[in-house]
Amino acid sequence: MSRLHTMARFDERVPAPDFVGTCEGCGELILKGEEHFDNEGDLIHNDSSCMTEYLKQIANYIQ
């Protein structure tokens, strides 16, 4: 009984995961240890869609 009690114990006060900042592409948090780029302080996930969104913001689109 006591063992079951131990196994069923969940701490609901899990601290928020560490994050390094917000992705300039998708706007989501970039968690510590997650691959990302730092472009002069702008953080971007190592993800093609995030980088595309970021590039659209900082670069001019020439057609």
Q: Which of 43, 48, 14 has the alpha carbon at shortest distance from 31?
A: 43
In the Cβ-directed half-sphere of 11, how many Cα atoms lie within 13 Å?
4
| Number of chain positions touching Zn ion (CB under 5 A) | 5
Residue 23 near Zn ion by CB under 5 A: yes
37 membership: H or E segment, kind and range: strand 36-39
Region near Zn ion per CB under 5 A, out of 4-12, 16-24, 55-63: 16-24
Residue 27 Cβ vs Zn ion, minimum distance, rounded to whole Å: 7
Residue 62 Cβ vs Zn ion, minimum distance, rounded to whole Å: 24
